[in-house]
Chain A
């Protein structure tokens, strides 16, 4: 894009004339990446003119002309600079429409405002805010930051502010080795020694320039889990620590499939079948004791070398996490044992890390306020049982910054950024697999503050200095000496939601309580909260409400736990909604829940509350308003937060509204294309039956009665019964009965009658208005009885 060389002269003339007058100007940049630098240099150029410049920074998403008018009245200046950063597509639309609607406020600007934005943003504004766009007096195509820097001295700028540079961060340096497969009595003992001795020598030479802080070893230290092999392992690791001066507590080891003694494991459980098994296995130490015996030699040796109470992979949950404080950072290192169920060549798909194991480890990491978290494991995620594979990986994306593993004997470092956060995954090569094969290791530098990891790959090559830089791992990074720096995806570590409801946020005002009392109260609150949710699910609403109102609210009050209170009020409002007490529900949501979330800055909680407000509105027939809240408030917020799962749920609500409006095809399309696939992907089994039930409702409307019946019978009701979700079960039992009656097959009658009876029983316990409808259906069924 070319810019007019005179444009700056003209801009200068214009601003000179406009000082103090309300006028809106645009400065266009080639792309969004240069916005801030352009803004900084331009401010200096304008100051040198000289103009009294107020740099208002970046326009907030919530602000618009009204806010600009207020700001420019409050801050006195000759000209105001403001950048508009790109938003996500949904947000950009909302933002642009607000600009359009508030354009009248431009007349109240305190002086000329020069908006700086990219060509891409310009196009969005033209399309979404056409009137606003005609109110811009003139758009100037700005020179690039480079050009601006070059002309700035000619325009009288004495010195440009340098990009503020923080002092270089002293990185935490680590060595990652994996898959040593050490064994005695081999002819190749000489070869093994040559490779590993070479590594020790190399590390010793490198010590000056690369003093190690951590050593990470990810499994297969031995060949078959036998004591005589660990004598070699132990010997090698002691030498390694001596040569690198890394203390034992900074050495982290997890076992691999070659560290288990298969002779012991032969008669043990081969794998787990379900999440339920996984919970039992990973939460009760007794259930793991036989599998732990397979690691006897490994544990004896490593405990002797590194300390009795180390995690070493056999620690589970909080027990897997060890904290290291280095160079002002709190590092959490979680050692996981991916080979609990390793036994043979058919391990792939049979292995379990255990969702409770990972989740509790992450909670511990969040609690300890670690500013960098590393997970060690031997196997790649792909080798885990498919029942837990995606869930476990997604939990890791939420909490870990670096995942270090081995097993495949292949260097495969990569960075994975996802909607939940993500991590850098470092898959290491084999430390030793015979000198004719590739042997290698990684040296790494962690910059926790900058959020980056720089990796230096090494390999074994024959020669006088056998360990050399491996140029094949990052062949394109010649400039950086074949090293590569990975960005660590940003994430917010919080404790998992169930615990959050009772836990986080506590202590905000509960200062008079001692730590012990607080812990005790928190424990009680958490137990009661879980109990109330269980009661709510099985339909014991009166009892759940009593617990919430009489037990939990006072508890949270004492603890000063706003979050806990908001979660409780939210649950109370849900029951009010289900019971048709819409006004109560609206009041609670508006006065209690929304305000609490807004105060806590909890956008997710707020979005959930707005979603429920939309629900109430649509039940009252205010479809368009409900849709607008969902489309313009809830969805953009969730999009911004990257919360795909709740987005899917909100889209489900939209589909419900469309269905009620008779737009059946559109509703069906949303459910099938946008909602269910996401729920599947996130394994959100708890939500799927609800939306499949919605599909059944649509099918009913389309008179596809057989399909609707099959769906409810096969994919909805059995799962709800398993989940013991009384409210949904009642609704869908009634729906199936309704469809059966409508279909009119005489043989369906007993089933319909039974469904209605079950539904009525629960509806009466829950005291929901549905009971009336069920009774009406029962009468209808009776009146059509064959004579």
Chain B
């Protein structure tokens, strides 16, 4: 038996909002059922059409990256070539231009090819190589995809760290010409068509809203739409709430909405909501995957239930509540977390919302509270969705609900008004 402090220590770690479950390892805490319906749609689309392009958006903390990483793993198992492009690691996302995005995709794709170099044509390799020579002014020809990928990676990290270099690089690229990394990416992808390549661009949701709007809604050329092969792009949720999003979504092939919703804790029939055992069981499962390896007795079922209700189905919020509960229990010298600690954590969150509260939120919050509905295109609505004041669900159509801390705050506000 480990001592109590150590147990609480590990609990606070696995429930930190920035905690990222280890991939594939024995203690993987990924629960495949989490976004079962949504994932099934993505899987089907990828299976039916080798050139499908898909979008994934969602409120902060709903599990986009986790889902995509797991999809990448299972697609690789099927023998497909998957380039998972972590744009945050490769580029200055706040100032992302398609030029860097495509260089990053090419880099990741070539890395995947190391050891499978037969699948790419000599011509495409030659193109990569001469592009590098042109951009870096180097004279040594390189022919191994892995080596090219390394050089590209170095180039990307220079671009990431130096704005003036970025502007210069962009000025050297003429769209559609040999200098355009997108063209090279397309050639490599079409060489690989037999391996049914998939490019996953993760991190596009982190580009600033103004720029996101330009990238996805203004430009005639949408990211990746004209490339061969399949692609999945994470996009900022703000884009989805723009009125022109419908036009955009026609260029991509999501069968249903691009929005990855919060885990549904309730079924909704348009009027009333009823508790969804399935939703609760998924979240219970997620909690158990993290708690059980430490000590299953650290949280009683009633406590877990309380935390799930308080999270309204957002996984990051659920983690936050349990972590805060763990801290409170430890501070009060308890040996496990009980409902009281979770209650206190919900209270803290309520106060945190109170600090950020503005009177013009009230009508929208009241409407969600009463009718589970909201006009999601106004600026305030976007602010509420982004700040997790309001949770978005989808079964059939989208509906909204307030998480417990906000419910509590609303109740107090209304009481004070009276």
Contacts of A119 in B (CB 8 A): 355
Give every chain A residue within 8 A of B165 (Cβ-Cβ).
Answer: 590
Q: A97-B208, A104-B88 are in contact. Are A134 and B348 (CB under 8 A)?
A: no
Report chain A residues within 8 Å CB of B203: 104
Stretch of B29-37, B77-85, B89-97, B261-269 that contacts chain A: B89-97
**Quick one: which of B51-99 are within 8 Å of A by CB?**
60-61, 86, 88-89, 92-95, 97
Are B387 and A126 within 8 A (Cβ)? yes
Listed stretches B181-189, B295-303, B326-334; interface member: B326-334
Measured in the bound complex, the distance between the Cα atoms of B20 and A130 in whole Å is 19
Q: Which of A88-145 contact B (CB under 8 A)?
A: 97-98, 100-107, 119, 122-123, 126-127, 130-131, 133-139, 141
**Bound-state Cα–Cα, A139 to B405, Å:** 15
Complex Cα distance, B17 from A126, in Å, reads 16
A613 with B164: CB separation less than 8 A: yes
Of the listed stretches B6-14, B119-127, B145-153, name the one at the interface; the rest are far from the partner chain. Answer: B6-14
Q: Which residue of B13, B60, B170 contacts A134 across the interface (Cβ within 8 Å)?
A: B60
CB of A655 within 8 A of chain B?
Answer: no
**Which residues from A are CB-within-8-Å of B168?**
586, 590
User: Among the listed stretches A183-191, A302-310, A485-493, A620-628, which one makes contact with chain B, having 4 or more residues with CB under 8 Å of it?
Assistant: A620-628
**Complex contact B355–A134 (CB within 8 A):** no
Quick one: closest A residue to B385, CB to CB? A130
Report B-chain residues with C-beta under 8 Å of the C-beta of A22. Answer: 16, 18
A-facing residues in B244-287 (Cβ within 8 Å): none
Name 23 A/B residue pairs within 8 A (Cβ), A-sorted: A12-B331, A13-B328, A16-B5, A16-B330, A17-B5, A17-B8, A17-B326, A22-B16, A101-B208, A103-B206, A104-B89, A105-B88, A127-B383, A130-B60, A131-B60, A134-B17, A134-B61, A134-B388, A137-B323, A610-B164, A613-B164, A628-B95, A628-B211
- Listed in ascending order, the chain A residues whose CB lies under 8 Å from chain B are 6, 9-10, 12-14, 16-18, 21-24, 28, 97-98, 100-107, 119, 122-123, 126-127, 130-131, 133-139, 141, 582-583, 586, 590, 594, 610, 613, 616-617, 620, 622, 624-625, 628-629, 632-633
Q: Establish whether residues A130 and B386, one from each chain, have CB atoms under 8 Å apart when the complex forms.
A: yes
Most buried by B among A17, A131, A586: A17
> A10 near B331 (CB under 8 angstroms)?
yes
CB atoms of B170 and A625 under 8 A apart: yes
B214 within 8 Å of A (CB atoms): yes
User: Chain B: interface secondary structure?
Assistant: helix
A14 touches B327 (CB 8 A): yes
A98: chain B residues at CB < 8 Å are 94
Complex CA–CA separation, A165 to B383 (angstroms):
46
Task: Enumerate the 3 nearest inter-chain pairs by beta-carbon distance, A residue then B residue, closest first.
Answer: A13-B331, A101-B94, A130-B386
Query: How far apart are B9's CB and chain A's nearest CB, in angstroms?
Result: 5
Q: Which residues of B contact A104 (CB under 8 A)?
A: 86, 88-89, 203, 206
Cβ proximity bits B310-339 to A, threshold 8 Å, 1 near / 0 not: 000000100010011011101100000000
CA distance A586 to B383 in the complex (A): 40
| Bound Cα distance from A139 to B207, whole angstroms | 25
On chain A, the residues within 8 Å of B141 by CB distance are none
A244 CA to B203 CA in the complex, in Å? Answer: 74
State the CA gap A152–B129 with chains docked (Å): 64
- Which residues of B are found within 8 Å of A18, using beta-carbon distances? 9, 12-13
Taking a contact as CB atoms closer than 8 A, the residue among A100, A107, A582, A594 that contacts B164 in the complex is A594
The answer to whether B330 touches A13 (Cβ under 8 A) is yes
Within 8 A of A (CB), among B213-263: 214
Q: Is the CB of B330 within 8 A of A126?
A: no
Known interface pairs A22-B16, A28-B355; 7 further A-B residue pairs with C-beta atoms within 8 A, sorted by A's residue number: A101-B207, A104-B89, A134-B60, A134-B61, A138-B324, A590-B167, A633-B163
Using A18-B12, A622-B171 as known contacts, say yes or no to A101 and B17 having CB atoms under 8 A apart: no
A90–chain B nearest beta-carbon distance, Å: 14
- Chain B residues with Cβ under 8 A from A138's Cβ? 320, 323-324, 327, 348
Complex CA gap A139/B185 in Å reads: 44
A140 and chain B: residue at smallest CB distance: B348
Q: Out of A13, A134, A586, A610, name the residue touching B316 (CB < 8 Å).
A: A134
Of listed B13, B97, B167, B203, residue having the most chain A CB within 10 A = B167
B18:A139 contact, CB within 8 angstroms: no
Q: Complex: how many Å from CA A405 to CA B208?
A: 53
Q: A17-B8, A101-B92 are in contact. Are A625 and B331 (CB under 8 A)?
A: no
- Give the chain A neighbours of B208 by CB distance below 8 A: 97, 100-101
Let me know if A17 and B18 touch, CB within 8 A: no
- Of B61, B94, B320, the contact of A100 (CB 8 Å cutoff): B94
Which residues on B sit within 8 Å (CB–CB) of A616? Answer: 171
Cβ B206 vs Cβ A23 within 8 A: no
Chain A residue with Cβ nearest B12: A17
**A590, B170: Cα distance in complex, Å:** 13
User: A106 with B18: in contact, given A13-B330, A101-B94, A101-B207 (CB under 8 Å)?
Assistant: yes
Contacts of B89 on A, CB cut-off 8 Å?
Answer: 104
Task: Decide: B18 and A24 in contact? CB cutoff 8 A.
Answer: yes
When distances are taken between beta carbons in the complex, the residues of chain A under 8 Å from B5 are 16-17
Q: B1 at the A/B interface (Cβ < 8 Å)?
A: no
Which chain A residues lie closer than 8 Å to B355 at the CB level? Answer: 28, 119, 122, 141
- Given that A22-B16, A134-B316, A137-B323 are known contacts, is A629 also in contact with B331, CB under 8 Å in the complex? no
How many angstroms from the CA of A98 to the CA of B161 in the assembled complex? 13
What distance in Å separates the Cβ of A74 from its nearest Cβ neighbour in chain B? 17
Asked if B356 CB lies within 8 Å of chain A CBs, one says yes
Expressed in whole angstroms, the Cα–Cα distance for A52 and B185 within the complex equals: 50
Check if A625 sits within 8 Å of B97, measured CB to CB: yes
- Nearest CB in chain B: distance from A134 CB, A: 4
- Min CB distance B329 to A, Å, is 9
In the complex, what's the smallest C-beta–C-beta distance from B319 to chain A, in angstroms? 9
Which residue on chain B has the smallest CB distance to residue A134? B60
Q: Which B residues lie within 8 Å of A632 (CB)?
A: 95
A17 to B294, CA, bound (A): 15
A179 → chain B, closest Cβ, in Å? 56
Pairwise interchain contact B206-A100, C-beta atoms closer than 8 A: yes
A107 touches B20 (CB 8 A): yes
By a CB distance below 8 angstroms, the chain B residues around A106 are 18
Task: Give the complex CA separation of A127 and B12 in angstroms.
Answer: 27
Query: When the two chains form their complex, are residues B356 and A17 in contact, meaning their CB atoms are under 8 A apart?
Result: no
Chain B, range 159-193, C-beta contacts under 8 Å to A: 163-165, 167-168, 170-171
Which chain B residues border A103 with CB–CB below 8 Å? 18, 206
Complex Cα distance A100/B209, Å?
A: 11
Interface centre among B164, B165, B356, B387, by most A CB within 10 Å?
B164
Nearest CB to that of A614 among chain B residues? B167
Query: Which residue of B86, B94, B323, B326 contacts A97 across the interface (Cβ within 8 Å)?
Result: B94
On chain A, the residues within 8 Å of B17 by CB distance are: 24, 134-137
- Nearest-CB residue, chain A, relative to B388: A134
| Complex CA–CA separation, A22 to B13 (angstroms) | 8
Whether B92 lies near A586 (C-beta < 8 A) is no
Distance (whole angstroms) from the CB of B262 to the closest CB of chain A: 13
In the complex, which residues of chain B have a beta carbon less than 8 angstroms from the beta carbon of A136? 17
Q: Which residues of A contact B348 (CB under 8 A)?
A: 138
With an 8 A cutoff between CB atoms, is B352 at the interface? yes
Closest to A23 in B: B16
Complex CA gap A244/B348 in Å reads 67
CB distance from A415 to the nearest CB of B (A): 36
The answer, among A102, A613, A624, A633, for a CB contact under 8 Å with B88, is A102
Residue picked from B12, B323, B324, most chain A C-beta under 10 Å: B12
A10 touches B171 (CB 8 A): no
Question: Known: A107-B20, A633-B163. Contact between A10 and B206, CB under 8 A?
Answer: no
- The CA of A123 and the CA of B354, in the complex, are separated in Å by 12
**Nearest neighbor of A626 in chain B, beta-carbon distance:** B167
A103 to B16, CA, bound (A): 14
Contact (Cβ within 8 A) B356 A629: no
Considering the chains assembled together, what is the distance between the CA atoms of A625 and B20 in angstroms?
34
Residues of B within 8 A of A141 (CB): 351, 355
Question: A141 CA to B348 CA in the complex, in Å?
Answer: 10
CA distance A1 to B86 in the complex (A): 41
Cβ contact within 8 Å between A135 and B18: yes
- Decide yes or no: A123 and B356 within 8 Å by CB, A13-B330, A100-B206 being known contacts: yes
